[in-house]
Amino acid sequence: MTTAVTPVQPESRTPTEPASVRRGALLSLLRPQRGRLAAAIGCGLLDQGFALAAALLGAALVGRALNGESAGALVPGLILLAALVLPKVLAAWAESYLAHDLAFRVLAELRDRCYRKLAALTPGYLLRRRSGDIGATAMADVEILELFFAHSLTPLVVAASVPPACLVAAFWLHPLVGAALLPAVVAMATVPFWLRRRSAAQAERMREAAGEAASEAVDAVQGLSETLVFGRQEHQAARLNAATGRLNRASRAHRSRGGVEKAAGDAIAAVGLIAVLLVALSLVNTGSLAADQVVIVAVLGGFAFLPLMSLVDTWRELSTIRAAAARLLRILDAPPDVVEQAARPVARIEPEVTFDQVTFRYGPDLPDAVSEVSFTIPAGRTVALAGHSGAGKSTCASLLLRHWDASAGSVRIGGHDLRDLPFDQLRSTVVAVPQDTYLFAMSVRDNLRLARPDATDAEVEQAARTACAHDFVTALPDGYDTLVGERGAHLSGGQRQRLAIARALLTRAPVLVLDEAVSNLDADSEAAIDEALRAAGGRHTTLVVAHRPSTLRTADTVVLMNAGRVVDIGHHDDLLTRSPEYRRLLAR
């Protein structure tokens, strides 16, 4: 079995990943958006500025009224006050628009990077992490960063500028007024840091619990059939509830801490306001402050805290943001298993495959998966790899596809080391029919065309005919335009495999890798495909990972493997006569 080749403890291969977030990584995404960011921050400051101006104007008007000015004299000020409202609202709207535009741009960019990185990491990395987990990272974690990009950058700048401005104004009114305001402003600014360590730990626990709950849900939904057949509904529901309960307990602590921060922020703002008012009143009493200025003090006392309070609100989610960013960076920073070394394609490649003393291990602590493997597939010939589970058959197939690089020795096509071929050229030379055939949720035709988008309908059909798929495809409700369901759910295993073969044929790559491609077929279609592949074989150099005697028999050469080493090479008939191990393998 190919799966058995996969290292037993996938996580053991994971390199130690950075636990903390590289702050620069997120900020570097902002570089192309500098203009928008500056504009958003400018609008945010304008918004607060207009609001403060309106409030101060209102306070001044009240002050003038207190000083006994007539109602008529206040009218121009009142009109100005009303007029200030419009630009304030416009600035607020513009800030929100610009910040969101910026954030959504960054998110689209991040998703793109995430996919490209995953493509570079395939398939090694995917074996180590669950697919649902990675999908969640690309979508949900990226979306969480919206909070950071759209809702925390401008408030940060506003919070860093408006409260100091209010403080300066307060000091200017009277040093004691400023002194009364200062402690509360400082205290407020520190609120997010009070429980920072606990907050990080809680976010971590919550993330784990959320992942676990999601996994339980996956189990519950994908195993639904088993649950029903074995009558374990209650058991499974209890498991699901237990996971939900754990998540709830984790988030309860998080929420409670958030509540403390919110309450503290609110209280500090109120205490600050009360303190500054009382100080102002005592100053009025001693005659060092005019009575009408008390109103202005009240306005300053209110405004100094508003930006900080909204910042505290956003930054309560900072630990969540950081956790999401860390998950994302774990993907973006993961080193790929192979890197493209050649820039220029080789002129012409003779499709002759050579394994030359190839040794490979999946990780430094793991034993060799294959060692000193040597064999050649002449152009247009078929070599079958035979052996028990874990013999190294699929590893050889993976090495030919350059999923990994050999630790020692080399794999060559037409004399060129795979490492000297650009990825594009390698892919147009070697094509695989993987064991797990994946069909996308689109039409049969589009699934086949993935391999070559410019293929004509006639070419698609020809490939399908060769792979013995044409007949069943035309019997589908909409023929080639029928949508195949998730994972090709509406097709049988044999039908899926035939489509995969057609897809591979369509690429016109001269080297084919078939990994147990025929395991799911009934005898009739297996024979037909066999024949078809042989007919096409004149044009293909083929490496087959085989289990069935029928496949081994039709190969030009069989390479018998055991425990990662080549034991014998020869034609099926010769091996049958001379190799007891081969006979045992085929149960004869």
Residues 59-88 that bind other proteins (CB under 8 A): 59, 61-62, 64-66, 68-71, 73-74, 78, 81-82, 84-86, 88
Which one of residues 174, 205, 548, 565 is an interface residue with other proteins (CB under 8 A)? 548
β pairing state of 565-570 and 430-433: unpaired
Contact status: 267 vs other proteins (CB under 8 A): yes
Q: Pick the closest to residue 141 from 111, 116, 121, 109 (CA basis).
A: 111
Closer of 84 and 182 to other proteins (Cβ): 84
Three-class secondary structure of residue 120 per DSSP: helix
> Which residue in 337, 453, 318 sits closest to 402, CA to CA?
337
SS3 label, residue 412: strand
Task: Supply the minimum distance, in Å, between the C-beta of residue 123 and other proteins.
Answer: 5
Q: How far is the CB of 417 from other proteins (least distance, A)?
A: 20
Q: Which stretch binds other proteins (CB under 8 A): 35-43, 175-183, 237-245, 357-365?
A: 237-245
Query: Looking at 12, 20, 248, 577, which residue binds other proteins (CB under 8 A)?
Result: 248
Question: Is residue 334 a contact point for other proteins (CB under 8 A)?
Answer: no
* Cβ distance to other proteins smaller for residue 356 or 403: 403
Q: Which of 270, 283, 265 is nearest to 178 (CA)?
A: 283
**Closest CB to other proteins among residues 408, 441:** 441
Site residues for other proteins, 419-438, by CB under 8 A, read 424, 427-428, 431-434, 436-438
> d(Cα 175, Cα 167) in Å, to the nearest integer?
10
Name the minimum Å distance from CB 133 to other proteins: 9
Question: Least distance from C-beta 357 to other proteins, angstroms?
Answer: 26
Q: Nearer to other proteins by C-beta: 424 or 481?
A: 424
Task: Compute the distance between CA of residue 553 and CA of residue 555 in angstroms, rounded to an integer.
Answer: 6
Q: How far is the CB of 122 from other proteins (least distance, A)?
A: 4
Q: Please say which residue, 183 or 223, places its beta carbon nearer to other proteins.
A: 223
User: What is the per-residue burial (b if ≥16 Cβ within 10 Å, else e) of 473-512?
Assistant: beebeeebebebeeebeebeebbbbbbbbbbbbbbebbbb
Residues 21-60 that bind other proteins (CB under 8 A): 51, 54, 58-59
Tell me if the bond preceding 336 is cis, omega within 30° of 0: no
Q: Are 432 and 515 in contact (CB under 8 A)?
A: yes
Residue closer to other proteins, measured from CB, 28 or 285: 285
Q: Are 562 and 577 in contact (CB under 8 A)?
A: no
Smallest separation, CB 304 to other proteins (Å): 15
Q: Give the nearest distance from C-beta 136 to other proteins in angstroms.
A: 9
Instruction: Confirm or reject binding of residue 527 to other proteins (CB under 8 A).
Output: yes
Please state, in angstroms and rounded to a whole number, the distance separating the CA atoms of residues 494 and 265.
Answer: 64
Distance CA 343, CA 421 (A): 8
Rounded Cα distance between 288 and 361, Å, is 83
Binding mask 273-292 for other proteins (x = CB under 8 A): xx--xx--xx-xx-----x-
Q: Which is nearer to other proteins, 85 or 366 (CB)?
A: 85
Task: Tell me the torsion sign for CA atoms 227, 232, 234, 240.
Answer: negative
Which of 101, 568, 574, 581 touches other proteins (CB under 8 A)?
101
Give, as one character, the DSSP assignment of residue 143: H
Q: Which of residues 292-311 bind other proteins (CB under 8 A)?
A: 294-295, 298, 302
How large is the greatest C-alpha to C-alpha distance in the chain, in angstroms? 119
Residue 586's φ and ψ, nearest 5 degrees, are: -90, 10
Which amino acid, one-letter code, is at 254? Answer: H
Rule CB under 8 A: choose which of 12, 20, 28, 233 binds other proteins: 233
Contact string (CB under 8 A) for other proteins, positions 7-26, x = contact: -xxx----------------
- Which residue's CB is nearer to other proteins, number 189 or number 576? 576
- Nearest distance from residue 329's CB to other proteins, in Å? 17
Residue selected from 23, 34, 116, 583 as contacting other proteins according to rule CB under 8 A: 116
Q: Which tokens sit at 309?
A: 């309070």
Peptide bond into 123 cis (omega under 30): yes
* Contact string 155-194 vs other proteins (x = CB under 8 A): ----------------------------------------
- Nearest to other proteins of 380, 422 (CB atom): 422
Compute the chain's Rg from CA coordinates: 34
Could you tell me the smallest distance in angstroms from the CB atom of residue 349 to other proteins? 15
Both tokens of 69, joined, read: 């000015």
Rounded-to-integer distance, Cα 283 and Cα 294, Å: 9
In the region spanning residues 338 to 397, those forming contacts with other proteins, defined by CB under 8 A, are 388-389
Which H or E run contains 27?
helix 23-28
CA distance 48 to 54: 10
**Residue 131 in contact with other proteins, rule: CB under 8 A:** yes
Kindly state the tokens that stand for 523.
């005898």
* Both structure tokens of 307: 């930006």
Q: Are strands 408-413 and 416-417 parallel, antiparallel or unpaired?
A: antiparallel
User: From the list 223, 333, 374, 457, which residue makes contact with other proteins (rule: CB under 8 A)?
Assistant: 223
User: Residues in contact with other proteins, total (CB under 8 A)?
Assistant: 166
Q: Which of residues 458-517 bind other proteins (CB under 8 A)?
A: 472, 475, 477, 485-487, 489, 492-495, 500, 503-504, 507, 509
Is there binding between residue 408 and other proteins (CB under 8 A)?
A: no
Q: Encoding tokens for residue 359?
A: 């040794």
